[in-house]
Structure 1
Amino acid sequence: MPRIRFTVSYDGTDFCGWQRQTATHENNTKPSVSQTITNALEKVFCHDVYLNASGRTDAGVHALNQVCHFDTTWSEEKLKNFNLARAVEHKLPESIVVKKAWLAPDDFHATISADKKTYRYLILNQPQPSAINARTMSWMRKPMDLDYLNECSKYFIGEHDFKSFQSVGTEVAHTVRTIHSAHWNWRNPKVAQFTITGSGFLKQMVRNIVGTQLLAFRKDWKPETMQEILMAQDRRKAGPPAEARGLYLMRVFYPQDLDNRCRQL
């Protein structure tokens, strides 16, 4: 069965997350991103689709380049001139867009094959909130000091146990992760952005890291406090998660060999 890999972007505001959590199924009326895409694919391919993604995003979190794959009963010959993005365009809401698709080798797996991911968090930093950006950015009134925040961020770089920054809800074998880079900069004079790249992330880890740094900034903690919180391995020592609306999955990285063996559709 041919395997199709594709990238998708979405505004997560109107969804309960990438995948609906069983515990909240009855109480959550919002659809999941994955089920919405699956429904569209099944209408196009006329068979059941089991969709895999690089990872799950929480309710309200956005993605610019989420990576997915599924297997199809269609032949490679039938797929040769097939445009997946165009085929599902009118079967998806405007808040979800399939960007590109490839015919992938059998050993490609959107989840397991991923080497690292990049997330970005956006904060509108001005005296008043913005109605226009209310869905896509967090907001802070107090003028932000990015030099201070970058001093905080450096403590997250490297291999650490991030148990203090893991929210409950997903069982994992261990809580050690490697962060390759983490830094703040000004996207424009009114928007601050935090960009972090790592081998993998725990549940709400990025939002917890951002939220803790912002709490430290508001309370004038020393930047070294970030190291103390890491070493404590206690979620109660860290701050609350930053709002979901400011977080974006920017990019998922795969081994070059796998990328080279994917043929664009």
Structure 2
Amino acid sequence: MQRIRFLVSYDGTDFCGWQRQNHSPIKSVQQVLQDGLEEVFQEKITLCASGRTDAGVHALGQVCHFDTSRPVERLENWDMAWAMKRQLPRSISIKKAWLAPQDFHATLSATRKTYRYLIHYNPRESAFLTRYAHWVRKPINVEHLQASSQFLLGKQDFKSFQSAGTPVKTTIRSIYKAQWEWRRSDLLQFTITGNGFMKQMVRNIVGTQLMLEKQGLAPETLQEIISAKHRPKAGPVAPAQGLYLMRVYYPQDLDNRCREI
């Protein structure tokens, strides 16, 4: 069996999330991709991704892998992204593909991830941004948001941002970057990089920071919320449409052993 790694982007608006849902009338990104791969490869495909994204969440850099019995010589000079184009809706696009070693695993080999959250600040909602950013009408104190985000950095227990019903072995995570900045006068972005994130963790963090800013509470309050290790102490979850999985990182030696096709 030959392992194939590929990079995919998608607009998550019309999907029930990444993971295949057997009883959902709305398709998942995984289901659409897996069905397309099985049509192209004419065999049963088991698809793995770096992680699950929720309904309405987008990805610019989701990483996946699967195994195929197709001979390597038939894959080496083959444009998989082009071959899959007919099988996918315009809201899903395969950007690159590689022949990967068997010890590459999209989920288990990942060392860190970067997410981005977009906020559209304007008195009127945009018909073009409503699917891709969280709309906020009132002015935002970005200095306040940036000040509170510094308390996210480092290795800490983020249990306060763990959504209910999402059991994990540990709620301790390391955050390497947490930055707010204006992309343009009406579009604010939050970028966060860490070694892993729990379900809705980024959206819970954003929702909490916006709550503190809106209520005029000191940025240091975020540290108190983290120390509490209690979800009710934190703020509401931010809407899904503003969140993007931007990049997944892997060890350099694994990247070097992947050959682009």
Query: What's the TM-score bracket when you normalise by the shorter of the two chains?
Result: over 0.9
What is the deviation of 1:81?
A: 1.2
Structure 2 counterparts to residues 85-234 of structure 1, below 5 A = 85-234=81-230
Contact 1:169/1:203 (<8 A) preserved? no
- Write the distance in 1 (CA, Å) between the matches of 2:115 and 2:19: 18
Normalising by structure 1, we get a TM-score of 0.97
- Write the distance in 2 (CA, Å) between the matches of 1:152 and 1:126: 23
SS in 2 for 1:179: strand
What is the deviation of 1:95?
A: 0.2
1:36 matched to 2:32: yes
What is the deviation of 1:14?
A: 0.2
What is the deviation of 1:142?
A: 1.0
SS in 1 for 2:174: strand
| 1:2 counterpart residue number | 2
Q: What amino acid does structure 2 have at the position aligned with 1:13?
A: T
- Write the distance in 2 (CA, Å) between the matches of 1:75 and 1:41: 16
Contact 1:168/1:203 (<8 A) preserved? no
- Write the distance in 2 (CA, Å) between the matches of 1:87 and 1:182: 38
Q: What amino acid does structure 2 have at the position aligned with 1:2?
A: Q
- Write the distance in 1 (CA, Å) between the matches of 2:244 and 2:175: 17
Identity of aligned residues (%): 59
- Write the distance in 1 (CA, Å) between the matches of 2:244 and 2:96: 18
What is the deviation of 1:20?
A: 3.7
Unaligned stretches of 5+ in structure 1? none
SS in 2 for 1:121: strand
- Write the distance in 1 (CA, Å) between the matches of 2:176 and 2:165: 25
Listed one character per residue, the Cα deviations across residues 102-161 of structure 1 (whole Å, up to 9, x for unaligned) are 000111000000010000000001111111111011110111111110001000000110
Listed one character per residue, the Cα deviations across residues 179-231 of structure 1 (whole Å, up to 9, x for unaligned) are 00101000111100000000000110000000000011111111011000001
Aligned positions, number: 261
- Write the distance in 2 (CA, Å) between the matches of 1:9 and 1:258: 21
